[in-house]
Amino acid sequence: MPDVIYWIEGPWQGRLAILTRPRGRDWLEDDVAVWQRAGLDLVVSLLTMDESAELGLEREGEIAHRQGLEYISFPIADRKVPTSREDAHKLIQQLTARLSEGKHIGVHCRQGVGRSALLAASVLVSSAVGVGPAFERIEKARGCPVPDTPEQRLWVEQFGKMTVREKEMPTEAGPMVKGAT
């Protein structure tokens, strides 16, 4: 079913969803139009270039822009994790900020279970949702276990630990002292 949108409960003004990947070729414009009518502002594709070509989705970004949607391609190999932790963290921060601004974001990969769940869970974790509860929210929305591989779950767990450490780091003004006024 190409037009299913799995909305995930989150703490932002905006909404986050995992999307079924669009059908390619002749159906692509129709499927992107469904996203636009559903109120999405931004679509993130996690497909590789080879997958996009195989599935007839080479024009997805162009068609999304033409229909008024922002589009980000952030390729992650099937059943894998991001190759650049730094680039992934930047994307997660960007998506979290956009959700806080009230934007509605949809993420898709090939099946909507592995890579999409990894990114959606990471965005939830960056917004102070625990790793376990993040995956539970996604499983509730998707109606199936996520993510696809233990490596993907471990990546989100490591991201969560790094996020906590970053929030605990002292600022340039120095460490906070309990009891100071």
Does the residue 50 lie in any domain?
yes
Whether the pLDDT of residue 42 is over 50: the answer is yes
Which pTM value belongs to this model?
0.92
Q: Which residue segment(s) compose the domain that 9 sits in?
A: 5-165
Confidence of residue 180 (pLDDT cuts 50, 70, 90): very low
Does the residue 173 lie in any domain?
no
Does the residue 179 lie in any domain?
no
The Cα–Cα gap between 53 and 22 comes to 13
Q: Is 58 exposed, middle or buried (0-12, 13-18, 19+ CB in 10 A)?
A: middle
Task: Name residue, tokens 């037009």.
Answer: 3
Confidence of residue 168 (pLDDT cuts 50, 70, 90): confident
User: What is the domain-level CATH number for residue 158?
Assistant: 3.90.190.10
Whether the pLDDT of residue 179 is over 50: the answer is no
Per-residue model confidence as pLDDT tens digits over 68-87:
999 999 999 999 999 999 99
The pLDDT, as a whole number, for residue 74 is 99
**What contacts 110, CB < 8 A, 6 or more positions away?**
21, 47, 51, 55, 78
Q: Mean of the pLDDT values across residues 105-132?
A: 98
